[in-house]
Structure 1
């Protein structure tokens, strides 16, 4: 019989992940806090949260110790800066040219851009992306919750780059 051990510590990454999550102003601090917690689980070193961003430490838990959270006013200048710093800017958005996340190969150095819960990413923000990925939906509503979708996208990135 196999013995199972709960809560084993995570294996350390061979190198720091070269991914940044950039969030449009979100309506709910619950969503941002969920994104922060997932980012911590995935070894994401940095989140840029736009607007009046606040994190609920009870939801984000230990991730607030390991993920650097930067607050900015608006997303467009953030995306310009990230591109200038050599990041591929990938929007998590349903567009006419978005790629199914199951078929997309993430660049190693990537900024994952997450839109507002209701409005998604605007035209100006989309114009600054190098690609957009979407997660298939087989029912209603037509998209996943922003924190859930971000978790799926971060998990896929980590699946592609398991060692950092």
Structure 2
């Protein structure tokens, strides 16, 4: 018989993660707050939120203390800047040339770009991306909730780079 104890300490990363999350203006503080909490659980230290970028501390819980949240005005300007900094800008979006999350190999230095809950990423934003990745769906609605989808993509990145 195995003994199971709750609250196992988190795994220690050997190096800092080189992924950050970049969000288009989101309609819901709850979604941004969930994204921040998930980023913290994944050991990701930076989230850029465009628009008003406010979180709900109750939803984000401890994550807000562990993640640096930068609020910026517009997404295209941020994407240009991140490209100059050497990030591969990966949009989480269903497009004609998007790759499945099941087979996508994340570059270590990735800016994961998240679109608006209803509108996704606009054409003006898509032109600044290097890659697009999508999560397959098998029924309606045609996509997952933005916070859920972000969690799935971050988990896959962490699976590919388990030590940071």
TM-score by length of 1: 0.99
Q: Matched residue of 1:153: which SS? A: helix
Match of 1:96 in 2: 96
Cα distance in 2 for residues equivalent to 1:11 and 1:33: 23
Q: Matched residue of 1:27: which SS? A: coil
Q: Matched residue of 1:6: which SS? A: coil
Deviation sequence 1:54-105 (CA, Å, 0-9, x none): 1111111111111100000110000011010000000000000000000100
Give, in angstroms, the shift of residue 8 of structure 1: 1.2
Match of 2:163 in 1: 163
TM-score by length of 2: 0.99
Match of 1:11 in 2: 11
Give, in angstroms, the shift of residue 155 of structure 1: 0.2
Match of 1:31 in 2: 31
Which runs of structure 2 are paired with 1:7-156 in the superposition (5 Å)?
A: 7-156=7-156
Deviation sequence 1:31-52 (CA, Å, 0-9, x none): 0000000000001110000001
Cα distance in 1 for residues equivalent to 2:42 and 2:141: 27
Q: Matched residue of 1:125: which SS? A: helix
Q: Matched residue of 1:113: which SS? A: strand
Give, in angstroms, the shift of residue 121 of structure 1: 0.3
Unaligned 5+ residue runs, structure 2?
A: none
Cα distance in 2 for residues equivalent to 1:54 and 1:87: 25
Give, in angstroms, the shift of residue 53 of structure 1: 1.3
Unaligned 5+ residue runs, structure 1?
A: none
Cα distance in 1 for residues equivalent to 2:53 and 2:45: 18
Cα distance in 2 for residues equivalent to 1:161 and 1:57: 29
Give, in angstroms, the shift of residue 5 of structure 1: 1.1
Q: Does 1:2 align with 2:8?
A: no
